[in-house]
Amino acid sequence: MTPTAVIVLAAGEGTRMRSGTPKVLHSIAGRTLLGHVVHAALDLAPTHLAVVVGAGREEVEAHLATLVPSALAVFQSRRGGTGHATRTALEALEKLHGELSGIVIVVGGDTPLLTGSTLRKLLVEGAGSAAAVLTAELPDPFGYGRIVRDLDGSLLRIVEERDADEQVIEIEEVNSGIYAFDVKALREALKTLSTDNSQGEEYLTEAIDLIRRNGGRVAAVISDDFVEILGVNDRAQLAECGAVLRDRINDALMQYGVTMMDPTTTWIDVTVEVAPDVTLLPGSALFGNTRVDKGAIIGPRTTLIDCTVGEGAEVVESTCRGAHIGADARVGPYSFLRPGTDIGRGAKAGAFVEMKNAKLGEGAKVPHLSYVGDARIGVGSNIGAATIFVNYDGVAKHETIVGDHVRIGSDTMLVAPVTIGDGAYTAAGSVITEDVPAGAMGVGRARQRNILGWVVRKRAGSAAAHAAEKSTGTVNITSEQLGDA
């Protein structure tokens, strides 16, 4: 069943979040609260989607445009309650598209656990009714309006908790705030909503009551999983919903064939793709548009953001953002791969290596303690420990090119722009400022000079001087031996 429209109510102030960010733009599992709700709504393929905005209007509208460019943002200038917001959205839709017919879904913008399958159940089980209410049986219904049913099981009324007597307060079935309406019945009910309540607002629950009193059938459809109706009003509830989504995502992946040693410490966004036979070790987090191919091992304590990891690769205790890690490559521990890094098949970026905008060729290695920025490193080359690619001259970044099967000696400084030819070597401790031809040895260091007796003279009385004297005996150093020291 396809609804004519879905109306998302997202105008609330969200004061309990105590945040400069509009409540519906807070994120869990890789989507904003609004993004999760819109995703569930789009699963129904509605003809129209309208989102009522208010607090943080500009930010919310800009975000909505990235989610669904065709969606209609409707500004509720006065926070007049859920009934007022729904009427504002319906009027805006009909002004744009003419009088609507069919079914309209109304849902809050702060229910990130809601799924399209539950909305579809509301449509199917509420078919033929003038209105249908999604309900749930909560173990702790505190704060929710209660569902009072007639003897035949049909909906009799919705009672807000503050208006409930002792008998009603014991009811565990609650109103989710999610509805399906026949457009004609909704339009008529919205015309006569009152503000005769403690908040002075128009409530959508009154529209339900008006439809029922006017002879329309109202269905109450119980959700299969009560967590889907849980809303977010503060940071604690945001974290609770985040944990539920984590468990939902992880369970689905494990059923799909992904191994997780500790699912409670493994966090994966809904936008991430993980293939079967991947192993995720404790403390790992996969965010954004990350994709991990089969047989890869991630973790422990690894964060991947917008990365691709090839088949059979291993990433250990590292942080990677915007990087491509090829099949059978090895990364870590304690590597930091920044955007634009491309680790080739079977290549290695080892312990305490930082790379940025750098391509590491097939089978090449940067084993440890190095910075590689703005570089291209060829097949089978080895970058010695403590090598620095000096890519920044204080004004601009420059590129270093290292050919195939090159050996860069430990503690080499490659001052860009510079090219090291195929098969070339650099001597350990060199500062390379000029190109090294293929097959050559590049040496860029001063010849060593030992100044005898310098410590005894310049650091007299120190532990080093005493050790030197003990080792060499009393030494009389001439001024000629000391030179200019």
pLDDT tens per residue, range 290-342? 999 999 999 999 999 999 999 999 999 999 999 999 999 999 999 999 999 99
Structure tokens at 263: 């699912």
pLDDT at 472: 77
CATH value of 257-442 in 1.10.10.10, 2.160.10.10, 3.30.70.20, 3.10.129.10: 2.160.10.10
Is 3.30.9.10 the CATH classification of the domain at 5-229? no
Would you place residue 479 in the very low, low, confident or very high pLDDT band (cuts 50, 70, 90)? very low
Q: What Å distances lie between residue 214 and 185, 254, 318, CA to CA?
A: 9, 50, 64
Q: How would you label 119-155 residue by residue, b for 16+ Cβ within 10 Å and e otherwise? A: bbbbbebbeebbbbbbbbebeebeebbbbbeeeeeeb
Q: How far apart are CA 69 and CA 61, in angstroms?
A: 10
Catalytic status, residue 63: no
Q: How far apart are CA 271 and CA 445, in angstroms?
A: 50
Phi/psi class of residue 114: alpha, beta or left (left: φ > 0; alpha: ψ in -120 to 50)? beta
Domain residue extents for the chain: 5-229, 257-442, 451-485
pTM over 0.85: yes
Which one-letter amino acid corresponds to residue 468? A
Asked if 155 and 217 count as a contact pair (C-beta separation under 8 A), the reply is no
Say yes or no to pLDDT of 484 above 70.
no
The mean of the pLDDT values for the chain is 94
Going by their DSSP bridges, the two strands 146-149 and 365-368 should be labelled as unpaired
**From 368, 398, 405, 466, the catalytic residue:** 368
Asked if 425 and 444 count as a contact pair (C-beta separation under 8 A), the reply is no
pLDDT at 399: 98
Say yes or no to pLDDT of 108 above 80.
yes
pLDDT tens for 182-237 read 999 999 999 999 887 767 789 899 999 999 999 999 999 999 999 999 999 999 99
Q: How far apart are CA 237 and CA 12, in angstroms?
A: 16
Structure tokens at 333: 């521990």
